[in-house]
Amino acid sequence: MAVITPAEPQRKRLAEVTPANLRRRYLRDRMMVGILVLATLAVLIPLLIIVWYVVSNGFQAVLEPTFWTSDLGSPARALRGTDTGLGHTILGTLVVDGIALLIAVPIGIGAGIMLSEYPDHPLNPSLRILNDTLNGMPAILKGLLAFALIVKPMGTFSGLSGGVALAFVMLPIVARATEGVLRIIPWSIREAGLALGLPRWRVVLNTVLPAAKVGVVTGVLIAFARAAGEAAPLLFTAFGNNFFSSTPLRYVFGPVDTLPARLYSLAISPYREWHAMGWGAGVVLLMFVIVTFVVSRIATRQRHQADM
Partner 1 sequence: MERTTTRQPTPATPRPTDAGQDEARASVAADAKARLITEDISVHYGSTLGVCDVSLTFRDKTVTALIGPSGCGKTTFLRSLNRMHDLTRGVKVSGKAVLDGTDIYASGVDPVTIRRRIGMVFQKPTPFPTMSIYDNVVAGLKLVGIRNRALLDEVAERSLRQAALWDEVKDRLKAPAAGISGGQQQRLSIARALAVEADVLLMDEPTSSLDPQSTMRIEELIHQLKDDVTIIIVTHNMQQAARVSDYTAFFYEGNLIEVSDTNTMFTNPREKRTNDYITGRFG
- The yes or no reply on residue 299 touching partner 1 (CB under 8 A) is no
Give the nearer residue to partner 1 in terms of CB position, either 217 or 266: 217
Which one among 127, 130, 194, 286 touches partner 1, defined by CB under 8 A?
194
Work out how close the CB of 295 gets to partner 1 at its nearest, in angstroms, rounded to a whole number: 21
Under 8 Å between Cβ of 300 and 212:
no
Question: What residues contact 292, with CB distance under 8 A and at least 6 apart?
Answer: 221, 224, 225, 228
Phi, psi of 84 (to 5 degrees): -150, 155
- Interface characters, 138-177, with partner 1 (x: CB under 8 A): ----------------------------------------
98 to 117: interface string for partner 1, x by CB under 8 A:
--------------------
Within residues 196-255, the interface with partner 1 by CB under 8 A covers: 196-199, 202, 206-207, 210-211, 213
Q: In the complex, what is the shortest distance from the CB of residue 211 to partner 1, in angstroms, rounded to a whole number?
A: 5
Site for partner 1 in 114-143 (CB under 8 A): 119-120
Q: d(Cα 244, Cα 85) in Å, to the nearest integer?
A: 11
Exposure of 274 by Cβ count < 10 A (0-12 exposed, 13-18 middle, 19+ buried)?
Answer: buried
For residue 122, the 8-state DSSP code is T
Identify the DSSP state of 256: B
For partner 1, give the closer residue by CB, 80 or 213: 213
- Helix, strand, coil percentages in the chain from 3-state DSSP, rounded to 5: 75, 0, 25
Binding site for partner 1 (CB under 8 A): 119-120, 183, 187-199, 202, 206-207, 210-211, 213, 302-308
